[in-house]
Amino acid sequence: MTVVDARGQRCPLPIIALARQIGAVPIGATITVEADDPAARPDIQAWCRMRGHDYVGENRAADGTPAYTVRRSH
């Protein structure tokens, strides 16, 4: 599983990191962004909508940081 560590990064840096990495995972595979900026929650979902990928959901990393999972769909 590919994980992007975006701790300490303010938006839009977490979605820029996600956009850079999405091409590196196979179609149908998931990628998880760990981000503590509160704007990452709406923005990762908006990015999925705008880019046509699937937003899988939100979890927490071991240290409690929100972790958002996206499935590459094309």
Partner 1 sequence: VPAFLDAASGAPLHPAARAALTAALDEGWADPDRLYTAGRRARLLLDAARAAVAEGLGARPDEIFFAANGTQALHAAVLGTLAGNRGELFVHSAVEHSAVLHAARSAGTAVPVGVDALGRVDAAAFAAAAAAPGVAGAGLQAANHEVGTRQPVEVVAERLGRVPLVVDLSQTLGHAPVPDGWSVAAADARMWGGPTLGVLSVRTGVRWRSPYPEDERERGRIPGVPSVPVIVAAAAALRAVLAERDALAARQRALVDRIRRVVAAIPDVEVVGDPIDRLPHIVTFSCLYADGESLLRALDRRGFAVSSGSSCTSSTLEPSHVLVAMGALTSGNVRVSLHTATTGAEVDDFLAALPEVVAEVRAELGAAGL
Decide if 48 is catalytic.
no
8 Å CB contact between 48 and 21? no
Chain mean position to CA 1: 12
Number of residues binding to partner 1, judged by CB under 8 A = 19
Residues 58-72: b if buried by 16+ CB within 10 A, e if exposed: eeeeeeebbbbbbbb
Task: Kindly tell me which residue out of 7, 8, 28, 38 binds partner 1, with binding defined by CB under 8 A.
Answer: 38
**CB closer to partner 1, 15 vs 67:** 15
Kindly name the residue from 3, 11, 13, 39 that is annotated as catalytic: 11
The phi and psi torsions of 63 (rounded to 5 degrees) equal -90, 10
Q: Which one of 24-32, 45-53, 58-66 is the stretch in contact with partner 1 (CB under 8 A)? A: 45-53
Q: Which residues of this protein are in contact with partner 1, per CB under 8 A?
A: 10-13, 15-16, 19-20, 37-39, 41-43, 45-47, 49-50
